[in-house]
């Protein structure tokens, strides 16, 4: 009896966690897509005050490129608190989304890539070191 009650509590707890995760990224109706993200930049180590290209390769569970997604990249400087600019990225080649950005300061930057595609929405954080 006590044992089965514990299971119910555990299930309820995990359900609540899932609900919070889903609602925190834009509504319970949004599906969390099983995308894989890979981030790269040109140059590999961007310099502050100079334009760099940031690219996200997005693939689905089968490893196929995710085409036609709406992709954004938000940049956050981890060494100082200030505005967090967001850029729209465009599909440069199948499943590869690129944007041209200017990291205003050197140091550690978090790049949050958000993708809304046919299988739903997903996002992932990356860290970039800017010279």
Among 73, 77, 95, 97, binds Cu ion (CB under 5 A): 77
- Asked if 80 interacts with Cu ion (CB under 5 A), we say yes
Give the C-alpha distances (Å, rounded to integers) separating 32 from 47, 49, 66, 117: 34, 35, 14, 10
The residue (of 57 and 77) whose beta carbon lies closer to Cu ion is 77
Q: How many CB atoms lie within 10 A of CB 120?
A: 14
Q: Burial level of 122, CB count in 10 A (0-12/13-18/19+)?
A: buried
Size of the site for Cu ion (CB under 5 A): 3
**Binding track, positions 87-106, relative to Cu ion; x by CB under 5 A:** ------------------x-
The nearest distance, CB 105 to Cu ion, in angstroms, is: 3
Binding site for Cu ion (CB under 5 A): 77, 80, 105
């Amino acid at each position: 009896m006590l044992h089965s009650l514990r299971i119910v509590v555990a299930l309820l707890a995990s359900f609540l966690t899932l609900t919070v995760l889903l609602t925190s990224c834009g509504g319970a109706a949004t599906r969390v897509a099983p995308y894989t993200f890979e981030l790269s930049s040109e140059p590999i180590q961007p310099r502050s005050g100079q334009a760099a290209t940031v690219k996200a390769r997005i693939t689905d569970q089968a490893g196929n490129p995710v085409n036609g997604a709406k992709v954004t990249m938000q940049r956050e400087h981890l060494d100082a608190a200030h505005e967090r600019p967001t850029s729209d990225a465009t599909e440069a080649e199948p499943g590869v989304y690129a944007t041209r950005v200017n990291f205003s300061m050197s140091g550690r930057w978090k790049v949050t890539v958000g993708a809304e595609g046919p299988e739903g929405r997903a996002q992932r954080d990356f860290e970039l070191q800017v010279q």
